[in-house]
Amino acid sequence: MRRFALALALARAAGWGAAEVEFNRDVRPVLSDKCFSCHGVDAKAKNIALRLDVEAMAKADLGGGRRAIVPGAPEASEMIRRINSESKAKKMPPVFTGHGLTDAERATLTEWIRQGAKWQKHWSLIPAVRPAVPAAKGGNAIDAFVRARLDKENLKPAAEASRDRLIRRVTLDLTGLPPTPGELREFLEDRSPHAYDKLVDRLLDRPQYGERMAMRWLDHARYADSNGYQYDGERVMWRWRDYVIDSFNRNKRFDQFVMEQVAGDLMPGATLEQKVATGFQRNHRANTELGIVAEEYQVEYVIDRVETNSAVFLGLTFGCARCHNHKYDPLTQKEMYQFYAYFNNVPEQGRAMKYGNSPPMIADPPQHQREAMKQIEREIEQTRQGLRADPRRVSVWRQSLAGDGLRYWHPGFDLKRKLSFEDPEQTRANAGIVQFVPGRIGRAVQLDGTAYLDAGFATANFDIEDRFTVAFWARSEKTPDGALFSRANDKPRGRGFGLEARQGHLHVHFTSDYDDDAIRMTSDDAVLAAGRWHHVALRYTGSRMAEGVRVYVDGMPVAMKVELDNLYRPLNNGGKEFPEPLRIGAGGGPNRRFAGQIDEMLIWARTLAEEDLALLARGELLRDQDLDSRPVREAWLESAAPAAQQALWKKYVELEQKREALERSYPTVMIMAENPRRRETHILIRGEYNRPGEKVEPGLPSFLPPLPAGASNDRLGLAQWMVARDNPLTARVNINRFWQMLFGTGLVKTTEDFGSQGEYPSHPELLDWLAVEFMESGWDLKHMVRLMVTSATYRQDSRTTPELTQRDPENRLLAHGPRLRLPAEAIRDQALAVAGLMEKRVGGPSVKPYQPAGLWEEQSMQNMDYQQDHGEGLYRRSLYTYWKRTIAPPMMVNFDASTRESCVVRESRTNTPLQALNLMNDVTFLEAGRQMGRRMLQEGGATDEARIQYGMQLLLARQARPRELAVLKESLSYHRDYFASNPARARQYLNKGESPLDLRGKPVEQAAYMALASLMMNLDEALTKD
């Protein structure tokens, strides 16, 4: 009896009012935390017979009649004997684990067995059923559940917050920005009973709502503008961010939002938007370090997806079963790898591109580029109308060519250089013997294997993003061997590009750094034979990838083996000139000179069509070409058509170039795709990439429901399963996170873990009600957010008392409204907004606002430097700030932003001196203070008091109390005197930031108001929604 009393007392002390021990709430957390790591799903691997995570096994006869748990009889239960044992050898949990039981925990287990040891399935795995809403006066369903709990605790809800607190709270929560004085006035003057509801509707309709919701989604998705790991070069994923903002703003069904990000590429008739959505799966870090083992990181990317998807959508920690069975949840290692298999079929490389995106990816032009493209295409179409060649005229022209025996055909436009070798003055021979001999067309150059021709520095200055084509004829007595041409350092493995014959094979390279930063490929076959002329062409699309490089021999594309496909940095010495000229017959050092003949080398600054190259390789006179062929028509338009048509042709060519340039400027997004042949997945023994074990197929863990009927067993099926009605987790986990966003702590505090180590919900029925409402509303997120922010619970005053704080420090019982420090983004955005500096355009590329000098240089490679923006880029909302993973924006880090190295779903808030320094001394906040001070002076009225009150309205959406007003006035007059006593200081102090500063006014007055505005921005209240 004494023990029972103790249990009861402890249960009460723990905050549970009732004497009935409930397995899920009271017992499982103890068993999980203290026992499952040995007596759980991994027990067998440790040769431990007893399992406490499965009821039948926990209550089974262990031999000799001993049973760990004998319902109703704690004294007969081995478990109770062992947890109370005095013997070091018998004591459970063993001392060495460091996980001793507390008295309260022992009491709970004892009492639970006494009450019959009733077992329950883990609460989060039981599909949510809509619970009956408790009877309550006023408020919505949320309030009924919250009040029922408060009643049990003998607590009363707080009164409704004042209207000015309400508008500030809800505006910050739904848009991440404070209300303007105008919005404040409108709301305060609206006396209708629905004024607050209308306000909420207005806020939900604002584009800033989508931005606000996106802030946390970017954390979950580990979004960043750089790759992470060692090099941490830039990537381009902002179109995915645009997708997220837009989806929240359009209130896309949340199930759709989830499915698109998991498997948008596999949805029937997948749209560009749906493909872009899968960028979620590619936002993980990517390693580009020279010398990594690519397979190792390919595994890491998939593991990252497993961790992210299981945390964000399911609230589970699947990654924990990478090396062994899960210690706590009923997930085997094999099941982990089955889940992994869904994400392991992407045509991706373990070693990623150093700068820019790594395949698979897709171009996704934003609206203004789409419109520009439409315009160009319209113009092209119009121009094309006027370009019809008159066959009769073409025929006449062709006849006229008959006498010109040397008019060999070649495409004319964008031809940058023609080396026909008819005139030796075109080029300079270096040492050695160079002769000009009869060749394929007129004369050719003959090289002896030691000499080369120098074609000058002005030619072929192409870099990695330039398109070009080089075509020529070549012949050698022996099997061709040696460099054909190059624009590269004269040494093996040198920087630059070139084409080389290797015993009849062709080798092409684009080299910035031979090992690390290059494209290299060699033809599968020996394509050049001895003793005959071959037409050879190299064309490049400027894609920086091997797929953009193609080699043709005699008009036919050559099959190439890619040796390295990793080109990032410019070839020509960082934008300066190549150290060597275009050299014909040389490249790769003195030992690789070519012996043979080269003729008719043509160089274009564009990628020729295959059709052009095929014709070119025929090496025919123009008059022998097909009259109707496109190239001939084009030659006519270019050189023989009537003047008007020639002009139109020129315009057409320019338009085509414009179209190409625009297309190439499209931002891309890394997306998901599937290998045509599924990549095999194996269990990795101890999680190590190079220790594959049993082969597995994609599949779901057995403790979760199966795929929906008819769903395919791939990522698309998985996506459908995640949002299926009988999935017990997705709706609960996600609505819990939105709750966390508004109330500071989730109903389940461990937002990242709904497994057995996770916390039991503070309001289980409310969580289920919300989850069911979410699903049954058609996953209508705005509806859910509206429900939460219009609840009386949310609208409570946030004042508390020491007694309440002591009893419920985290306000889990919700006896008052939320009072929480703002997220990092909102603190900066609020400053920009009240300063009138904010550039509110929604979406677009990331920007680089102020950052202390040298931060990147100190830690990054190759002096990667932070190039701060000027103008608009300084004042965009913080979710657009360029995020470099290894050196994140310092203000964001100071205010607890996640580092975006991996998925983070729990919000955290600290309170540190570095934050104080940041807000007092960072140019961002000083400039905002200057501009807010200016607004107080210019817009606030005629008196100090009116101006101070205006500042209070701008920043805090309320009037100053008399005591506050007194302090603020004193502070203002102090600063006025301070600056007046030394006006030079005022000028220095005001000189912060790049926004305009007018010093013709009264600098002392401006500086005093700037100091006051800075002080106000540093108020606890300014950093807090209350």
Partner 1 sequence: MHPLLATRRHFFRRSATGIGLAALGSLLDAEQAPVHPRLPGLPHHAPKAKNVILLFQHGAPSQLDLFDWKPALAARRGENLPDSIRMGQRLTGMTAFQESFPTAPTIFRFAQHGQSRAWLSELVPHMAAQADDLCFVKSLHTEAINHDPAVTFIQTGFQLAGRPSFGAWVAYGLGSENQNLPAYVVMVSQGSGNTQALADRAFGSGFLPTKFAGVKFRGGADPVLYLSDPEGYSREARRRYLDDLARLNQIQLDDYQDPEIATRISQYEMAFRMQASVPELSDLSQEPESTFALYGPDSRKPGSYAANCILARRLVERGVRFVQLFHRGWDQHSNLPKEIRTQCRETDQPSAALVADLKQRGLLKDTIVIWMGEFGRTVYSQGTLTETNYGRDHHPRCFTAWMAGGGFKGGLTHGQTDDFSYNITADPVDLHDLHATILHALGVDHTRLTFKFQGRHYRLTDVKGQVVQPLFS
**Contact positions with partner 1 (CB under 8 A) in 801-820:** 801-802, 805, 819
The residue among 179 and 758 lying less far from partner 1, judged by its C-beta, is: 758
Q: Are 165 and 158 in contact (CB under 8 A)?
A: no
Please name which of 760, 828, 670 lies closest in space to residue 124, comparing C-alpha atoms: 760
Using CB under 8 A as the binding rule, whether residue 99 contacts partner 1 is answered as: yes
Cα atoms in the Cβ-side hemisphere of radius 13 Å centred on 799: 7
Q: How far is CA 672 from CA 229, 283, 357, 363, 606, in A?
A: 21, 11, 13, 13, 31
Comparison of 450 and 522: residue with beta carbon closer to partner 1: 522
The kind and range of the H/E element at 746 are none
Q: Is the CB of 443 or the CB of 812 nearer to partner 1?
A: 812
- Shortest Cβ distance from residue 801 to partner 1 (Å)? 6
Q: Does 984 bind partner 1 (CB under 8 A)?
A: yes
549 near partner 1, judged by CB under 8 A: no
Q: How far is the CB of 44 from partner 1 (least distance, A)?
A: 18
To the nearest 10 degrees (0 to 180), the angle between helices 195-205 and 163-175 is 20
Give dist(CA 323, CA 333) in Å, integer.
7
Sole binder of partner 1 in the list 118, 682, 783, 799 (CB under 8 A): 799
Residue 565 CB, shortest distance to partner 1, in Å, is 14
Least distance CB 901 / partner 1 (angstroms)? 4
847, β-bridge pairs: 881
| Interface pattern 704-743 for partner 1 (x via CB under 8 A) | ----------------------------------------
Among 435, 798, 868, 995, binds partner 1 (CB under 8 A): 798
End-to-end CA distance of the chain: 47
How many other CB atoms are found less than 10 A from the CB of residue 206? Answer: 17
* Pick 173 or 752: Cβ nearer partner 1: 752
* Region of 93-101, 504-512, 617-625, 766-774 interacting with partner 1 (CB under 8 A): 93-101
Q: How far apart are CA 768 and CA 124, in angstroms?
A: 10
Tell me, residue by residue from 753 to 782, as one string, x for binding to partner 1 by CB under 8 A and - for no binding. x-xxxx------------------------
Q: Which is nearer to partner 1, 49 or 294 (CB)?
A: 294
Name residues contacting partner 1, limited to 949-968 (CB under 8 A): 961, 963-964, 967-968
Interface stretch with partner 1, choices 369-377, 642-650, 660-668, 747-755 (CB under 8 A): 747-755
Write down the least CB distance from residue 163 to partner 1, Å.
17
Q: For residue 197, which amino acid is it?
A: D
Do 359 and 347 form a contact (C-beta atoms < 8 A)? yes
Tell me the number of residues near partner 1 by CB under 8 A.
Answer: 103
How far is residue 92's CA from residue 75's CA, in Å, rounded to a whole number?
Answer: 16
- Minimum distance between the CB of residue 860 and partner 1, rounded to whole angstroms? 5
Amino acid identity of 890? P
Nearest Cα to Cα of residue 615 among 602, 597, 632: 632
Torsion, Cα of 902, 906, 909, 914 (10° steps): 0
Least distance in Å: CB of 977 to partner 1?
A: 10
153's CB contacts (< 8 A; 6+ apart) are 17, 813
Tokens, residue 622: 């123009």
Question: Under rule CB under 8 A, which residues in 232-291 are in contact with partner 1?
Answer: 232, 285, 287, 289-291
Spatial separation of the C-alpha atoms in residues 687 and 257, rounded to whole Å: 31
Min dist CB 229 to partner 1, Å, is: 5
Q: What is the dihedral of CA 650, 655, 660, 663, to 10 degrees?
A: 180
Q: Which is nearer to partner 1, 17 or 852 (CB)?
A: 852
Minimum distance from residue 100 beta carbon to partner 1 (Å) = 11
Would you say 38 or 141 has its CB closer to partner 1? Answer: 38
CB 847 within 8 A of CB 881: yes
C-beta closer to partner 1: residue 225 or 329: 329
CA distance linking residue 14 with residue 898, whole number of Å = 32
| Smallest gap from residue 914 Cβ to partner 1 (A) | 7
Q: Name residues contacting partner 1, limited to 926-945 (CB under 8 A).
A: 926
> Is there a cis peptide before residue 360, judged by omega within 30 degrees of 0?
yes
Instruction: Report the residue number, 344 or 860, with the smaller CB distance to partner 1.
Output: 860
Among 173, 255, 300, 825, binds partner 1 (CB under 8 A): 300
Distance of closest approach, residue 933 Cβ to partner 1, in angstroms: 13
512-541 binders of partner 1 (CB under 8 A): 515
- How far is the C-alpha of 394 from the C-alpha of 511, rounded, in Å? 45
Residues 404-463 contacting partner 1, CB under 8 A = none
Euclidean distance between CA atoms 1010 and 931, whole angstroms: 7
- The CA distance from 665 to 660, in Å, is 9
Token pair of 891 as six digits? 């203000």
Binding to partner 1 (CB under 8 A): which residues in 348-377? 351
Figure out which of the listed residues 194, 577, 973, 974 binds partner 1, where binding follows CB under 8 A.
974
What residues have CB less than 8 Å from 211, skipping those under 6 apart? Answer: 175, 176, 245, 842, 877, 879
Which 986-1005 residues touch partner 1, going by CB under 8 A? 986-992
Cα(28)–Cα(118) distance, integer angstroms: 11
Cβ at position 97, least distance to partner 1 in Å: 8
Query: Rounded CA gap, 666 and 348, in Å?
Result: 21
Residue 697 CA to residue 709 CA, distance in Å, equals 18
State the nearest-atom distance from the C-beta of 1011 to partner 1, in Å.
7
Which CB, 460 or 546, lies closer to partner 1? 546
- The residue (of 222 and 241) whose beta carbon lies closer to partner 1 is 222
What is the token pair recorded at 239? 């179109």
Q: Kindly tell me which residue out of 821, 947, 958, 976 binds partner 1, with binding defined by CB under 8 A.
A: 821
For residues 825 to 844, the per-residue mask of contacts with partner 1, x marking binding by CB under 8 A and - elsewhere, is --------------------
Distance in Å, CB of 343 to partner 1, minimum: 17
Write the CB contacts of 998 (distance below 8 Å, at least 6 apart in sequence): none
Residues of span 332-351 touching partner 1 by CB under 8 A: 351
By CB atoms closer than 10 A (0-12, 13-18, 19+), residue 993 is buried
What 8-state DSSP symbol labels residue 379? H
Q: How far apart are CA 286 and CA 236, in angstroms?
A: 13
Number of residues that make up the chain: 1026
> Which region among 108-116, 211-219, 249-257, 793-801 touches partner 1 (by CB under 8 A)?
793-801
Residues in region 302-331 near partner 1 by CB under 8 A: 311, 317, 320, 327-329
590-619 footprint of partner 1 as x/- string (CB under 8 A): ------------------------------
CB of 289 to partner 1, least distance (A): 5
Q: Tell me the sheet residues that pair with 513.
A: 517
Cβ at position 794, least distance to partner 1 in Å: 17
Binders in 856-915 for partner 1, by CB under 8 A: 858-861, 885-888, 890, 893-894, 896, 899, 901-902, 908, 910-915
CB of 641 to partner 1, least distance (A): 56
Among the residue ranges 480-488, 570-578, 664-672, 1018-1026, the one whose residues contact partner 1 (CB under 8 A): 1018-1026
Q: Please answer whether residues 862 and 872 qualify as being in contact, where contact means their C-beta atoms are separated by less than 8 angstroms.
A: no
The secondary element (H helix, E strand) that includes residue 206 is none
Helix pair 944-956, 181-189: axis angle to 10 deg: 80
Minimum distance of partner 1 from residue 979's CB (angstroms): 8
